[in-house]
Structure 1
Amino acid sequence: MNKKVEEQLRAWGKNKEQVPDFFSKGIDDVLNNLPETATPTNERMVRTKPKKKRLVAKSLVAAAVISFGVIGSGFISPTMAQMLKEVPIIGSIFSNSEDRSLTIIDEQDLASTLNQTVTDQGITLTITETYFGGGRLVIAYTIESEEVELERVVKGRGVPLHYNALIDGEQFSHSTTFEQSVDEGVAKGIIDMSIGLESELSEKPVLDLKVKEIAGVTGSWNFTLPIDLEKTKAATKTFSPMTSATWEDAAFVVEKVEFTPVQSQIIIDRTVPKDDIFDYGFSVYDENGTSLGFHGGSGSSVIDVGNGLVNFKDTILLQGREEVPTGLMIEVYNNHGGPYESSKVKEVNIPLTESELPYTLNYPDGSKLIVTGVEQLEDETVVYYDIEGKLNLQNAFLMLEIENGERLPPIMLEAKRTNLQKLSFSQSFDQSEGPISLFTTIDANEVDTFVFEVKLD
């Protein structure tokens, strides 16, 4: 249950002037005995026969409060009325997400409660909560029906519903992943959008969500949803550095940097030669050169500004952060539009033995990756290395090759910084025994890089 609601209900239960003893005890009993919902995580889809039975236990508290507020006292106080409006009858869907960044929404009470319902074709769709911030729009929902078979969807591996969406009446670029669980015939899911906007939002933006298909059934489930920005303001750090840089015939302006605990974003205005529009990319680091991760991105509409140049905005999405860096290092790379040639990629195996370490891997541009050590621990294998030259080598393609020839990927995509005084990192793999080696590649395809700094004041 939503933390704020639970605390308020317990307060009501303990206030003897407002609520009699038998009622406060009933609230506490229900709250303390709400069943936990276990959801399998190792299956792609689980078909579940719809059941008429609803989540009765989790709605008893709200029902009891409503009954007492109306029958016991003859009216509902303003405080109680507002709380009832915000009660998520089935609890926060974000709290059980497979995505750790989404559980933060519930933990920090960043979601806005809506509970808007539309029924069509025997299918009831309820939008329960929304979150907006850091280039991310997330919508929690439930589906109930006796007419269709609802399915569990592992995040990013299925599409339980199809929709169109507008913000303030305008289309916006976005990519979407879904996740959905099914319990007692009720589907609980999340629409997770990474978005790019052409312009700043209005003070009170509105999302028009038009769902046109659910579980293979065509219908019309239309919602007009307010996007509450107040919830995320306290947890959001926003900067407008307007730092500019030029490189060859390209110009870049960092217009906006926004950090939230759920996701962060950087918006860069880019003017480049029309023929080179697809040649550039970005990597982002903090003031010490540590990668801030990469969660995707999008681009705005392209404007022809004449003289063979075009202009548009890049939205770079990064992992959520609560601690904000004092500056950024933005690495721009340019592949010059040349075809990628696999023949220019060399495979390398580095023996991870004391006699072979440190081992220096030299790259065509003069950069280096120096493997300095390895630990085979009880629960993991940790490889340590330093880099010189290109910052993106800290997340170089690395795999651990074990004795039987199997190659293990790293546990995390991002390397761990181990020393701020120099570019030292570690990468963890599953536990291993016996002789091991580090498999990687040296890519000689032509890619130039340019780094500029952005201060965040």
Structure 2
Amino acid sequence: MDPSKLEVELKKYKRNEDTTMSPLVRSRLDETYASLPETSSERKGRVSRPRMRKTASVAVATVMLGVAVFTSGFISPVMAQSIKKIPVVGSLFSSIEADLGLRAAGEKGLTSSVNKSISYQDVKLNVTETVFDGTRAVFLLDVTAPNLKEGMFDTGEKEVKLSNAIDSVVFKVNGQVKDGVNYYSSRGAHPNVLIFEEILGADEPNASATNSDTFHAEVLVKLTGIDHEFTLDVPFQKTTKDIMNLKPNAIQKSGNLSVTIAEVNVTPVTTRLLTTITLDDQTSDQLTHTRVAVFDDQGRQLPALNGEGTLEDNKITFDGRYATTGKTKYLIIKPFVYQDDFSEKVRDNQYIKGLELKMELPAQNE
């Protein structure tokens, strides 16, 4: 458009008192109007610069486009309501509050989108996301059923929480059944989503915290009141970054007891420790209830997940897995004697005095 014509149009637009216009838009129009190129009558005797005029025209056209957007009533109520209904893009893992390791995986983009579903009659199970860091294999299962509402499942006899409507779960890798699969509700804004978690052992395939690998798990799920076994094919891909694999062989001794930290693997999701507690010149029965609690540099105890122990002669070796609580400069390892369950909240009188050990960790990338 010729600048002189554009000037006239802008003046008309500016004089239109019926147009709703915010002070911000009006000030932008005034600025644009003031910066318009001179008219042909004012440019007489000057050398024309076609390239300069073209640039100015493009700039003004861009401003006009902005005016059209800002003064078109902004956003209609219908459009505003539609925008509210658009789902937020992101990982559901990032909303998990109970497990800081899984939440970190969601926030740092360490999850894999899957979207694999299976249906039977009017019930549908859909695997939406997975996390695999070499030790923990976790997936989210979205359940859809007419008798499921806000996390409550009607079995035909009574209503129970969805997590209590699971009759059985079998987790297989390469045809081998793996023990210890756990599941629980994601709660919050997604009550119909369950979190399934398998802790892989040191001797199992794809379990090393230092190998990048993928595998498929065959997961068999039965729901209460449904005479059918759902078979899920769940692919896992290791996406964890910044893995620390340390072999410190740190030792702390007190009296006739000593603790050795042989290996430490730390990912943003899971912390894994291989520890040995030795009792000198006494029977090994005193070691059967001995474990270690792990704390980060903020004093937060890492939740115990699972592990295996081997008792031999006068020492117990334990491969323990814990949920990572975030970036930390060091770990504090505190051996203790458990009473009912080694993952219980440990009281002060359960710790073995003199065996506390501090282990520095390499600086982690921000």
TM over 0.5, yes or no? yes
Matched, 1:328 2:335: no
Please tell me the residue identity of whatever aligns with 1:177. Y
Please tell me the residue identity of whatever aligns with 1:199. D
1:194, distance to aligned residue in structure 2 (A): 6.8
Match 2:261 to one of 245, 250, 253: 253
Match 2:304 to one of 296, 299, 324: 296
Instruction: Assess if the C-alpha contact under 8 Å between 1:196 and 1:315 holds in 2.
Output: no
Alignment: residue pair count: 261
Give me the whole-angstrom Cα distance separating, in 1, the residues matched to 2:94 and 2:197.
Answer: 18
Pairwise mapping of residues 146-225 of structure 1 onto structure 2 (< 5 A)?
A: 146=146, 148-152=147-151, 158-161=163-166, 162-168=168-174, 169=176, 171-180=178-187, 188-193=192-197, 195=199, 197-199=201-203, 201-202=205-206, 203-225=212-234
2:105 counterpart SS class: helix
Superposed CA deviations along residues 255-287 of structure 1, whole A, max 9, x for unmatched, are 123041xx441312335564123332323345x
In structure 2, relative to structure 1, the CA distance for the partners of 1:253 and 1:96 (3 Å cut) is closer
1:242, distance to aligned residue in structure 2 (A): 3.7
Give me the whole-angstrom Cα distance separating, in 1, the residues matched to 2:79 and 2:142.
Answer: 22
Pairwise mapping of residues 1-16 of structure 1 onto structure 2 (< 5 A)?
A: none
Q: Which residue of 1 aligns with 2:106?
A: 106
In structure 2, relative to structure 1, the CA distance for the partners of 1:129 and 1:276 (3 Å cut) is same
1:144, distance to aligned residue in structure 2 (A): 2.3
Instruction: Assess if the C-alpha contact under 8 Å between 1:329 and 1:454 holds in 2.
Output: yes
Superposed CA deviations along residues 40-72 of structure 1, whole A, max 9, x for unmatched, are xxxxxxxxxxxxxxxxx76xxxxxxxxxxxxxx
2:170 counterpart SS class: strand
Give me the whole-angstrom Cα distance separating, in 1, the residues matched to 2:189 and 2:226.
Answer: 18
Give me the whole-angstrom Cα distance separating, in 2, the residues matched to 1:134 and 1:196.
Answer: 8
Give me the whole-angstrom Cα distance separating, in 2, the residues matched to 1:121 and 1:222.
Answer: 14
Instruction: Assess if the C-alpha contact under 8 Å between 2:249 and 2:262 holds in 1.
Output: yes
Match 1:241 to one of 221, 243, 248: 248
Q: Which residue of 1 aligns with 2:322?
A: 317
Rg (Cα) greater in structure: 2
1:33 counterpart SS class: helix
1:227, distance to aligned residue in structure 2 (A): 1.6
1:191, distance to aligned residue in structure 2 (A): 1.0
Q: Which residue of 1 aligns with 2:67?
A: none
Q: Counting strand residues as a fraction of each chain, which structure ranks higher?
A: 1
Q: Which residue of 2 aligns with 1:227?
A: 236
Please tell me the residue identity of whatever aligns with 1:333. F
Q: Which residue of 2 aligns with 1:9?
A: none
Instruction: Assess if the C-alpha contact under 8 Å between 1:181 and 1:189 holds in 2.
Output: no
Kindly report the root-mean-square deviation, in angstroms, between the aligned alpha carbons of the 2 structures.
4.2
Please tell me the residue identity of whatever aligns with 1:331. K
Q: Counting helix residues as a fraction of each chain, which structure ranks higher?
A: 2
In structure 2, relative to structure 1, the CA distance for the partners of 1:159 and 1:240 (3 Å cut) is farther
Please tell me the residue identity of whatever aligns with 1:210. V
Superposed CA deviations along residues 182-211 of structure 1, whole A, max 9, x for unmatched, are 88xxx7413153735233653424242423
In structure 2, relative to structure 1, the CA distance for the partners of 1:31 and 1:312 (3 Å cut) is farther
Give me the whole-angstrom Cα distance separating, in 2, the residues matched to 1:258 and 1:244.
Answer: 19
In structure 2, relative to structure 1, the CA distance for the partners of 1:332 and 1:236 (3 Å cut) is same
Matched, 1:283 2:293: yes
Instruction: Assess if the C-alpha contact under 8 Å between 2:270 and 2:322 holds in 1.
Output: yes
Give me the whole-angstrom Cα distance separating, in 2, the residues matched to 1:97 and 1:118.
Answer: 25
Q: Which residue of 1 aligns with 2:28?
A: none
2:203 counterpart SS class: coil
In structure 2, relative to structure 1, the CA distance for the partners of 1:283 and 1:107 (3 Å cut) is closer
Instruction: Assess if the C-alpha contact under 8 Å between 1:259 and 1:320 holds in 2.
Output: no
1:126, distance to aligned residue in structure 2 (A): 1.0
In structure 2, relative to structure 1, the CA distance for the partners of 1:173 and 1:277 (3 Å cut) is farther
User: Percent of pairs identical after alignment?
Assistant: 15
**Unpaired segments ≥5 residues, structure 1:** 1-28, 37-56, 59-87, 340-394, 398-442
Instruction: Assess if the C-alpha contact under 8 Å between 2:335 and 2:351 holds in 1.
Output: no
1:300 counterpart SS class: strand
Match 1:450 to one of 346, 355, 364: 355
TM-score calculated relative to the size of structure 2: 0.56
1:450, distance to aligned residue in structure 2 (A): 1.1
Instruction: Assess if the C-alpha contact under 8 Å between 2:222 and 2:228 holds in 1.
Output: yes
Superposed CA deviations along residues 63-92 of structure 1, whole A, max 9, x for unmatched, are xxxxxxxxxxxxxxxxxxxxxxxxx9x974
In structure 2, relative to structure 1, the CA distance for the partners of 1:140 and 1:175 (3 Å cut) is closer
2:109 counterpart SS class: coil
Q: Which residue of 1 aligns with 2:271?
A: 265
